[in-house]
Amino acid sequence: MSKSALTFVAITALLTVLAANPAPAGAASTPEQKCLARKLAATGKLVSTDLGCRSKAAGKGLTPDAVCLAKAEEKFNKAWGKAESKPGCPADPAQKGDVLDEVEAFEQALIVTLPDLNISSADTQRGGVLYDAWWKVNGAPTPSGTFPLYTTTFGTQTGSTTWRCKECHGWDYKGKDGAYASGSHYTGVQGLWNQVAGLTNREIFNAIKNPAPGGHDFSAQISDADILNLVRFLREGLLDMDVSINPTTKAAAGDATNGSALFAAGGGGACALCHGDDGKAIDFGGGEYVGTIANDNPWEGLHKIRWGQPGEPMPSAVSNGLSLDEQTDILTHAQTLPTS
Ligand code: HEC
Ligand code: HEC
């Protein structure tokens, strides 16, 4: 849709929400008409202030400032309240809610219509392993010390692990609302699995690079090309892991028999080639094997089955064309393997 057509649709929708009262030509305006005029003026101001916040952020390569957007809404609330304090303009909270929804939808549509970052040639699989431990993928030095952003969270970990995306956003991409809702990996940080849908590629890119206080500021460690790979992974590689893993019992919901066949040979799985039939050929350290990870942390297991192990030749089941059902089957079989 062209921008002017979009604007037209949005304004028509707003007018419908506000239920216009046309004035007879030449007549003095009625309180109802003044009410409509005031509400439209308040709405117009909201849209222009919001777009001002967004343009300021876009010009600096940042995500829009939440304080700026909140102020715009506060001003709107005041102007709307003032309109409804006059005669002929009864309070109508439902209508106000509808207007705010229309404005939000209009702004989102507008932002998507404007040129966004192109991620069609970005590498989703590389993004998936970067999410895990980016320095093992891009050859950057292992980060020393604790990630400054991590110190602003409730997390109690220290050192290089605090720089991994998964440490705050979770193996299940649900952050504080998933497996990291409690325990030694709790940080209180939001998940990403259904949040990124509300962001443009540019906003996701800027959030990762963002040098502002409280931002990630990965600009020195992760190249723009790899940030694009992360954007594509976040946009297309995430899923609701509850579909594959019972969040309470941790049991994988697949078919272990089919998983066993995929684990043993071919079909893009072939885990046994490196990990052995019992998953114990490689010790990940301190007596941890495929069966240990699959049972203790099935979300990590599924992420690794899907994308591989950073800096190792372990294949990605997604790249090899295995379906989510097949990936879940492999995890289900892996849960039957020895844990020690
Ligand atoms: C130290 C914890 C931490 C780590 C590690 C971390 N993040 Fe975040 N991330 C946050 C916090 C906190 C927010 C929420 C910021 C906010 O509320 O605006 C966030 C938000 C985001 C958002 C959403 C931005 C928005 O506008 O909603 C994206 C995308 C994101 N992170 C991607 C990543 C990626 C990719 C990595 C790894 C390269 C990563 N994060 C590593 C803490 C972290
Ligand atoms: C080409 C060899 C190879 C294949 C095939 C392979 N892996 Fe791996 N895998 C590795 C290597 C190497 C590691 C890293 C070991 C380490 O860090 O000590 C690894 C790591 C892992 C880990 C995570 C260990 C950790 O704690 O970080 C899991 C889980 C795992 N593999 C499961 C699987 C499953 C399931 C399959 C089949 C879908 C599979 N692997 C296929 C080589 C392979």
Q: What pTM was computed for the model?
A: 0.78
Test site for ligand 1: of 134, 147, 165, 196, most ligand atoms within 8 A of the Cβ: 165
pLDDT < 70 regions, the chain: 1-26, 61-62, 112, 266-268
State the Cα–Cα distance between residues 253 and 326, nearest whole angstrom.
Answer: 11
CA nearest neighbour of 10 among 46, 57, 64:
46
Question: Tokens for 309?
Answer: 């192990």
**Structural Rg of the chain based on CA atoms:** 26
Burial 267-296 (b: 16+ CB within 10 A, else e): bbbebbeebeeebbeeeeeeebbbbbbbbe
Mutate to test the pocket of ligand 1, among 186, 190, 228 (most ligand atoms within 8 A of CB): 190
**Which pLDDT belongs to residue 325?**
97
Residue 144 has which token pair? 């020393």
DSSP assigned state of 261? H
Kind plus residue range of the DSSP H or E element containing 303: helix 298-307
Determine the pLDDT at residue 3: 46
pLDDT digit string (tens) for 32-82?
999 999 999 999 999 999 999 888 877 776 677 888 999 999 999 999 999
- Give the residue whose CA is nearest to atom 36 of ligand 1: 165
The ligand whose atoms approach the alpha carbon of 226 most closely is: 1
Q: How far is residue 340's CA from residue 338's CA, in Å, rounded to a whole number?
A: 6
Instruction: Report yes or no: 288 and 231 within 8 Å, Cβ to Cβ.
Output: no
CB atoms under 10 Å from CB of 248, counted, come to 7
Cβ of 313 closer than 6 Å to ligand 2, yes or no, is yes
Can you tell me which residue has the tokens 């002929």? Answer: 88
The correct CATH number of 242-334 out of 1.10.3680, 2.60.40, 1.10.8, 1.10.760 is: 1.10.760
CA of 16 to the centre of ligand 1 (A): 38
52 CA → ligand 2 middle, Å: 49
137: tokens are 């993928």
pLDDT of residue 248: 96
Q: Which stretches does DSSP call E strand in 58-161?
A: none
pLDDT value of residue 121: 92
Q: From the alpha carbon of 230, which atom of ligand 1 is closest? A: 35
| Nearest Cα residue to 309 out of 293, 326, 332 | 293
Tokens of 198: 């509300």
Please check whether residue 219 is in contact with residue 211, taking contact to mean a CB–CB distance below 8 angstroms.
yes
User: Where in the chain are the domains?
Assistant: 3-113, 124-238, 242-334
Give residue 5's pLDDT. 52
pLDDT tens track for 74-86: 999 999 999 999 9
13 vs 7, 26, 47, 153, 217, CA distance in Å?
10, 27, 14, 41, 40
Q: pLDDT at position 165, please? A: 98
